Amino acid sequence: MSDLIPGVLDLLVCPACRSQLTWDYEASELVCTGRSCGLAYPVRGGIPILVIDEARAPHGS
């Protein structure tokens, strides 16, 4: 989790549905844990880009 400042994940929520986010190490993105949402937000240079238009839709959607 070197791309993200430690502890910041506890403070962030999905801007679309307000669910918690989880870190996807391989993809370097934050993924919404909401069952009906699941958007994945990129992390660039250690900064989470929590903009819905920048998010990737979940696989299979």
Q: What is the residue extent of each domain of the chain?
A: 8-54
As a CATH number, domain 8-54 is: 2.20.25.10
Beta bridge partners, 20, equal: 13
Residue 50 to residues 24, 28, 32, 59, Cα–Cα distance (Å):
15, 13, 11, 19
Q: How remote is the C-alpha of 58 from its chain's centroid?
A: 11
Per-residue pLDDT of the chain (61 residues; tens, 9 = 90+): 456 667 888 899 999 999 999 999 899 899 999 999 999 999 988 889 999 999 999 875 5
Residue 10 to residues 37, 39, 53, Cα–Cα distance (Å):
19, 17, 23
For residue 23, give the H/E element and its range. strand 21-24
Q: What pLDDT does residue 37 have?
A: 95
- Nearest CA-CA partner of 61 in 30, 40, 45, 44: 40
